[in-house]
Every structure is written in structure tokens, then in C-alpha cells.
Structure 1
């Protein structure tokens, strides 16, 4: 092991220390996210989504390729680590990451002996 010096930036989190403690920020992560989404020149809003908005799966039109949407919503979920003010809006848009009539199946696997049995 070797020391890389004081922690400044790790996994999208900027860390600053002061006599009062540590300060976490994701300003660079948010800026990079806006650039990736092509929204760098967008207008700033104090409230990103009205509190009483109710969206349904029938609002708007389906995307040809929802991959970019899923990537952006996932990045926004991570951004809520330091930006709890956007958590409500991110929660609402994250409800539409999967189709309501898809056959989503969750599978899990376990290996209790940590691959110790050569026959399985």
C-alpha cells in the first residue's frame, strides 16, 4: 500500500476538509452529467419538478432506445447522495425505467462453500 495523499475526488464525490469536518460535493459529476445529456445550456430552475405532478405511463411517447434515459436516471439517483433537493423529481422519473407489462424476473444464486466443491 502507498499513500496517495489526502482524499480530494473519489467516485464522483469531491471531498473538502475544514476544521468543522468534511464537505461532500458532486459539482463536477453534475456538470459532466449535464454535458453528457446535452443540457449544458439549459435554464436553471429552483424546483426541478412541481410537487403535485402526477405522471402516468401513458404520458408522452415511448423512446426508440431507452438506454440513455436509464443511464441518466441512474446517474441522477447517484447524484442524490449530495443533492437531496432533487430526490422527489428523481423518484418520479425513475418509476418509468421499465415497462409496466414487462416480464421482469429476479434471479439469485448462492455458493455457500465459496467454490470449494470441484463437482459443481
Structure 2
């Protein structure tokens, strides 16, 4: 019997932690490439988005059931005002997007595009 799936969207799991010096955001993006991920901060919202593209490994097979998720996604995380937006560091390794957001005593720029390394 074929199982029915109604939730076909890509919705990455996110974890936000805090240390004395910074906030950290960890997002699970398995199967993604860093070139397909965008990270922006605007006012007090950090948004990461992208598109998980379908693979063609089953091109000659008739897939009866698949739990792989493909499509566009966007997640927004609230950011405290004391984040130094000019020094946010983003890295992507082994399907995990890590964002390090250092704390600052003053507010910096309102919006910024962040490069993922």
C-alpha cells in the first residue's frame, strides 16, 4: 500500500543557544550545498533560505514512495538588539549551518547579507 504524504515542504530544524559572548544558531540542512543557502539579517530578524533541489538518481525508475523533501524553504529567527551584525560568522559543514552572532554593547547596521563559508 502506498503511504500518503501531505507535508512536502522543507522545514529545517533550528537550535538557538547563548553563551556569555555570543548567540549561536544551528540549522539542519541535510543534502544542501552551501551555494544554495542565503543568510540575511534585517533589523532584529535573521533569515536563512534556499532551495533543496531534486536529485535525478531515480531517473530510470518509477518511484513508488519517497520521504525526501525538495523545494524552497525560509526560516526567520528573532535576533536580540545587542548582536554585532557586522561580525556574524556563518559556516556550513556536514549538512549543518552554524551562525555565530557576537554580542555587542551597541547596535550596528540595520541589515546585512552574510556570506556562508
Common fold, TM-score beyond 0.5?
A: no
Greater share of helix:
1
Which structure exhibits the higher relative contact order, with contacts defined as CA atoms closer than 8 Å and separated by 6 or more residues? 2
TM normalised by structure 1 equals: 0.23
Please say which structure displays the higher CA radius of gyration.
Answer: 1
- The TM-score, its normalising length taken from structure 2, stands at 0.23
Larger strand fraction of residues:
2
